[in-house]
Structure 1
């Protein structure tokens, strides 16, 4: 299990546009494992490589990280309606279709403690490679469609706060800078 540090917005690494993975290798698969490990540790449902300061077009999503669907049939049905079948890694994702609209309250591991409503497409079809380098398609609705767009935005150097007003971004930026100062202070105290 390899946990990595998640970049906190407005870290410049989050503005970097990820490059395509030329060939899926053991290094790519290790990155996928690290993404899942870090995402689960931080209690997220999605994570992109750029959030770990790795500029590669790789993302992971798990809408049921606690396994709630095994205990809650209504939630299992909702996941199925969204097209979600289990944890998924997408390498070099490409959006083939996007339609409809959905307003969804989003949060982000790179903007901890903040949620805001963002409008996204309600349905997307995405083609990507899996950890074996094989092409596959995802037909996603609802939260799954939102998560795919949110994580893919990271690969394009965007964070959900980029969709907000300047005033909201400035307030959130100030909050994140204070959080980073607090974390940096804790880190230097533990070294001393």
Structure 2
């Protein structure tokens, strides 16, 4: 799995590998630099960049730092891990581990929304999708809601506005999910062809 960073971060490409390592390539000053580090014990299945803007920065009267370099990985160790770039050491540091799946995390997707909440969706071999939420007023505190399926969940993808989640699975269906006014995620459409 490979993922380009938001363009505000520069020319960055993150690569997830089955050997448990993540590579981040950056093109700057007419050349490529390469960082590689161990991320998951049993293999990295997916990777997704966070939006470059900090959640809540558009609606806050006191915005924090403007841009961030941050991504999430999903691994065969059933974990999601959040990595932040440290500009002083010029390295990526593990800042948080999210636990909840009971089998491989097949895919992760960080919502492009930069409003008051940040969302990460994770699809798993355990026949669930978890939607992880972090409120801008309480950074670092992630909670999750679990969506259950009859088969393995393969992929998750957010709409460009970040408010609708598409989920594909082993049943050859795609379902669309949206958060209701009570903060619960509900299916709005099944697509079968």
Interval of TM-score (by shorter of Structure 1 and Structure 2): under 0.3
Task: Specify which structure has the bigger relative contact order, considering alpha-carbon pairs within 8 angstroms and separated by 6 or more residues.
Answer: 1
Q: Higher strand share goes to which structure?
A: 2
Tell me the TM-score normalized by structure 2: 0.27
Q: Higher helix share goes to which structure?
A: 1
